[in-house]
Amino acid sequence: MAKKNENTNYKVVADNKRARFDYHVEEEFEVGVVLLGSEVKSMRLGSTNIAESYAEVEDGELWLVNSYVAPYKQANIWGHMERRRRKLLAKKKEVAKLWQATSRKGMTIVPLVIYFNDKGRVKMKIGLAKGKNKADKRQTDAKRDWNRQKARLLRHGE
């Protein structure tokens, strides 16, 4: 029996854990990210943050706004700006759907996770989301606490 080829290049760089707490994510999309060489090297070291960022559609193009990629020390002359706008690569139909949802339905495009795929390319998972109110957040919190308690009870056999 042949062994499955393991994804040795797959690596999660940054995860936006707060997004699922603050938003109802209705649909997810996988998009590419246009980066400079020093940004890719910095991401390989794991110094990236997408917690405060969001995506927007502008002139038919998808952009990532306010994401942080730490400067790469070895690229001191040809470095990059830490919080520059980065272009996201998606299909035209996906961009049109995202634009329509954000302009008409009052939804937001939230970055969920940025990672290197099995081919070693930087990809990002974005979500089309609607904001939660305080009651929804409390309900999510209670559900998470109940699941933890249930797991504890099942583990201890009580």
**Neighbouring residues of 82: CB distance < 8 A, sequence distance ≥ 6:** 68, 69, 70, 71
Mean pLDDT, 10 residues at a time, over the chain (158 residues)?
62 88 89 88 86 90 90 75 88 92 87 91 92 81 89 82
pLDDT tens per residue, range 48-89: 888 889 999 999 899 999 998 888 877 777 767 778 899 999
Cβ atoms of 139 and 156 within 8 Å: the answer is no
Give the separation between CA 138 and CA 7, rounded to whole angstroms. Answer: 38
What's residue 39's pLDDT?
84
Quick one: how many helices (H) and strands (E) in the chain? 4, 9
**Neighbouring residues of 132: CB distance < 8 A, sequence distance ≥ 6:** 21, 22, 23, 24, 140
Angle at 32 between CA 27 and CA 34, to 5 degrees: 140
What's residue 138's pLDDT?
87
What's residue 3's pLDDT?
54
pTM over 0.85: no
CA distance readout (Å), 15 to 30, 77, 113, 126: 14, 29, 4, 11
**Neighbouring residues of 127: CB distance < 8 A, sequence distance ≥ 6:** 19, 23, 25, 26, 27, 28, 29, 109, 110, 111, 112
What's residue 65's pLDDT?
93
